[in-house]
Amino acid sequence: MMNHQIVIISVKQSENVSKFLQQLKLQHIPIRKLGFSKEHLMFEIDVQHLRALRKIRKRYAVKLTIRYKAPHKILQRDGTTLIGLLLLTIVPIILAQFIWRVEIDANTVELVDEMDNYLQSEMKITMPIFKRQFYSDRELRQQLMEHFRQFSWVHITKQGSRVTLTPQLAPKETISLKQSMNQHLIASNSGVITHFDIERGVRKVEPNMTVYKGDTLVSGVLMRDDEVFVVGAQGEVYADYWLETTFSIPKTIEMQVLDEINWDIEINWNQLASSWKEKSLTPLKSLIVHTPSRVFHNKTETISENDIEKVILPLLHEKMIRSLPLKSTIKSEKLLHVYADDDTVKGKVLYLVNENIATPLPIHQGE
C-alpha cells in the first residue's frame, strides 16, 4: 500500500535551482503546485519521493525546508500504520488470556517463600499460564488449606493478569495443661476424618472414614495380653462436615465515606515568645502546629442480589470463622438460595468446615 502523504518543499532561490528542478524531472519525481516568489519557489511531492529529493539536494547544494501538508494526522493510510493498528489490537487481547504474576500477601517473608515454593514445586504453577488452565478459586483454596493447616481461609483476588493470594491465619489455641488422664475422645459431630494430632491413646478411626456423633475416636484404654491399662486419650481429631446457615441483611445501609483531609495550621505563640525572649533558635516545626481534620459525608448503599458473592459472603465468612472453635477452617462455601424483598436480602450458605471434633468422655470404673 502506497503512502500518499503530501510534503511541501520550499527552496531558496540560487543559481543551481534550475539544475535541481531538471534533475527532479529526470528522476521522474512528480512535482505539483509549483510556485515562484522573489526569494523562494515552492512545490508539493509525495512523501515516498522524499529520500530521492534529499540526495539531489545534496548534490546541487540548494537550501530547502520541508513540512508535511497535514501534520495533524497521526495515523496515515499506509501499510505500516495498518500493521501497527493490528498489533496494538491483537497483542493486548492475546496477552490478556494469560496470568503473568501470582502475588502472595502474607504476614512474614518466610510464609511467602514457603507458599511460593509450594505453588511451583507441588502445584506446578509456572508463569505465564493460560487462564483456562489455571486452578479455579475453589480448587486453589482447598489445596492450600489442606497443606497449610494454620490457614483458616485464603482470599483470592484476580485483577487482570495478576492473582493475589492473602492467607488468613487461624487464631492460636491456648492449651490447657490440666487435662484428665482417665478419658476417651469421642465425636462431638458427624463428619469425614481428615487428619490427627494425638498425644496419647489408641486410635479407633482412619482418615477418610465417616463417623457419627458419639463414636469413639481415640480410646483411653489399652488392651495387652488380657490386661487392661488405662492410658487416657489426649489429642485432636479433625473432620470435614457441612454446616448450613441463614442470613438476613438490610437492603439499604448507611456508611460514612471520606471526602478529603484538611490541615489546620496554628502558630505556637507561647513558644515563639519564649524563643524571642531567650534569643534562641527554635525549629520551625515546633512553632507551627498542624493537625489533620477529616471531612466525611454520609452515603447510602443499596445491596442487590448480585452483591452477595463479592460483598456479603466475605463478611459472613469472617463472622462464621469467629464463631467456630480454634484451629477450625472453612474449606469452601456455597450460596444455596438468595432472595430480596422490600427492605432485606435473605439467603442460605452452606460451609464445608474442617474442625477438631474430639471431645473428652470420662472413663468410668469397671470399663
What is the DSSP annotation of 259-314? EEEEEEEEE-HHHHHHHHHHT----HHHHEEEEEEEEEEEEEEE--GGGIIIIIHH
Q: Residue 273: inside a domain, yes or no? A: yes
234 with 155, same domain: the answer is no
CA distance 148 to 146: 6
Paired with 232 in beta bridges are none
Question: Is the N-terminal amide bond of 167 cis, ω within 30° of 0?
Answer: no
Strand, coil or helix: 141: helix
* Pairwise CA distance, residues 33 & 82, whole Å: 30
Task: State whether 148 and 196 are in the same domain.
Answer: no
User: What pLDDT is stored for residue 174 in this prediction?
Assistant: 46
Question: Last residue of some domain: 109, 142, 169?
Answer: 169
One-letter amino acid of 66 = I
Residue 89 lies in a domain: no
CATH of the domain at 119: 3.10.20
CA distance linking residue 337 with residue 345, whole number of Å = 11
Tell whether 85 is covered by a domain. Answer: no
Distance between CA atoms of residues 133 and 202, nearest Å: 44
Summarize pLDDT for 168-192 with one digit per residue, the tens. Answer: 876 655 444 344 568 889 999 899 9
Ordered DSSP codes for 93-114: HHHTTEE-EEEE--SSHHHHHH
For residues 253 and 345, membership in a common domain is answered with: yes
pLDDT at 247: 80
Q: Which domain-ending residue is among 113, 145, 169?
A: 169
Q: What whole-number distance in Å separates Cα of residue 45 and Cα of residue 22?
A: 15
Q: State residue 212's pLDDT score.
A: 93
Q: Is residue 315 one of the residues assigned to a domain?
A: yes
Instruction: Give the structural domain span for 114.
Output: 98-169
Strand, helix or coil for residue 343: coil
Task: State whether 222 and 262 are in the same domain.
Answer: no
As given in the structure block, the three cell numbers for residue 32 are 505539483
* φ, ψ at 212 (rounded to 5°): -125, 160
Q: Residue 338: inside a domain, yes or no?
A: yes
Three-class secondary structure of residue 82 per DSSP: helix
Indicate if 229 and 254 belong to the same structural domain: no
CATH number at residue 22: 3.30.70.260
Question: Do both 266 and 335 map to the same domain?
Answer: yes
pLDDT at position 127: 84
Same domain, 270 and 323: yes
- Overall number of domains in the chain: 4
146 and 121 in one domain?
A: yes
Q: What's the pLDDT score for residue 209?
A: 94
Residues 191 and 149 in one domain: no
| Gap between the Cα atoms of 4 and 149, Å rounded | 69
Asked if residue 80 belongs to a domain, the reply is no
- Together in a domain, 233 and 258: no
Q: In angstroms, what CA-CA distances link 276 with 268, 272, 283, 285?
A: 12, 6, 13, 16
Within-domain flag for 266? yes
Q: Where are the alpha helices (DSSP H) in 127-245?
A: 137-147
Q: Which residue, 338, 360, 364, 339, is CA-closest to 349?
A: 338
Which of 114, 145, 169 terminates a domain? The answer is 169
Dist CA 228 CA 329 (whole Å): 37
> What is the CB neighbour count within 10 angstroms for residue 165?
20
Strands 101-104 and 162-169: parallel
Q: Is residue 107 part of a domain?
A: yes
Write out the three cell numbers for 178.
490440666
Is 233 in the same domain as 310?
Answer: no
* Same domain for 344 and 262: yes
Q: Is 347 exposed, middle or buried (0-12, 13-18, 19+ CB in 10 A)?
A: buried
| Strand-pair partners of 64 | 11
pLDDT below 70 — which residues of the chain? 1-4, 70-80, 170-181, 253-297, 299, 301, 304-311, 365-367
**Is the pTM above the cut of 0.75?**
no
